[in-house]
Chains A and B, each alone.
Chain A
Amino acid sequence: EVQLVESGGGLVQPGGSMRLSCAVSGFTLSSSWMHWVRQVPGKGLVWVSRINTDGISTTYADSVKGRFTISRDNAKNTLYLQMNSLRAEDTAVYYCARDVKNNYYMDVWGKGTAVTVS
C-alpha cells in the first residue's frame, strides 16, 4: 500500500525554523516527483513546492521562495521541507503529495502535519 506520512510540525515562533519530513512507503520514491501543499484550516489548498526525481530541479510558490527549501533523500525514502524565517501566515496544515506521472498532479497525499507560527 502506498503511504505518505508527514512529521515535524508543531509550534514555532515568528522568525524561527522548522523542518518537515515525509516518509514514503509502498513505492520507489526515486521514480516520482513530489510536492508540498498547505492549507490553512477552513481555507483552500495552496501549492508550496515541487521537486523532481533526483532533487536537482525545485520550484516554489512566490510566497515561500527564498525561505523554504524542498529536498529529498531517495535512499531514505524521505522528502523534506526546510522552512526558515517563518511568519504567522505560514500557519497551516502541510501535506506532502506524490506526482507519479511527473505531470503536475498529486495522486497520493499524506494526512498532513500542522504548523503553527505564533
Chain B
Amino acid sequence: QSALTQPASVSGSPGQSITISCTGTSSDVGSYNLVSWYQQHPGIAPKLMIYEVNERPSGVSNRFSGSKSGNTASLTISGLQAEDEADYYCSSYAGSSTCVFGGGTKLTVL
C-alpha cells in the first residue's frame, strides 16, 4: 500500500493548460481502470473531479479531463481559472479490495 507518486506542485497562468501526473505500479494504476481524482480547497472536504480514469461526474467542468498510460494516470485542466487553485489527489484501486491515494499536488494559478 505505497502511496501513488504525484509532483508536489504545479503552476500555470490563467487560460493555460496544466497536467498533473500520478504514477503507480502494475499492481494498482497499471492494472485497473479505477483511477479517480479529487480537488481539495483549504479547510474543505475533497471533491470528486474524475472517476474511472476519464469520467466526469455531473456538474464538473469539461475543462477537467483524465487519462492513463501504463502505470501513470494524468489529470489535465484546460483554460486554467483562479478557482482551480487547490490541492489535487489521485486515487486508485490497489487490489485486495483496497485503495491508495497519491501524495497530492498543489496547483498554483499565477
Contacts and interface: CB of A to CB of B under 8 A. Distances in A.
Interface of A: 35, 37, 44-47, 50, 57, 59-62, 95, 101, 103-112
Contact of B45 (A50, A62, A95, A104): A95
Given A104-B91, A105-B34, 20 more contacts: A37-B46, A44-B101, A44-B103, A50-B97, A57-B97, A59-B96, A59-B98, A61-B1, A62-B1, A103-B52, A103-B93, A104-B34, A104-B93, A104-B99, A105-B36, A105-B52, A108-B48, A109-B46, A109-B47, A110-B45
Given A45-B46, A110-B45, A59 B97 contact: yes
Interface of B: 1, 3, 34, 36, 38, 40, 45-48, 51-52, 57, 89, 91-93, 96-104
Contacts of B101: 37, 44-47
Contacts, number: 68
Nearest to B57: A107
Contact of B100 (A47, A101, A109, A112): A47
30 contacts: A44-B89, A44-B102, A45-B38, A45-B40, A45-B46, A45-B89, A45-B91, A45-B101, A47-B91, A47-B101, A50-B99, A57-B97, A59-B96, A59-B97, A59-B98, A61-B1, A95-B46, A103-B34, A103-B51, A103-B93, A104-B36, A104-B92, A105-B51, A106-B36, A106-B38, A106-B48, A107-B51, A107-B57, A109-B45, A111-B45
A101 B97 CA distance: 14
Nearest to A4: B45
Contacts of B45: 95, 109-112
A105 B48 contact: yes
Contacts of B47: 109
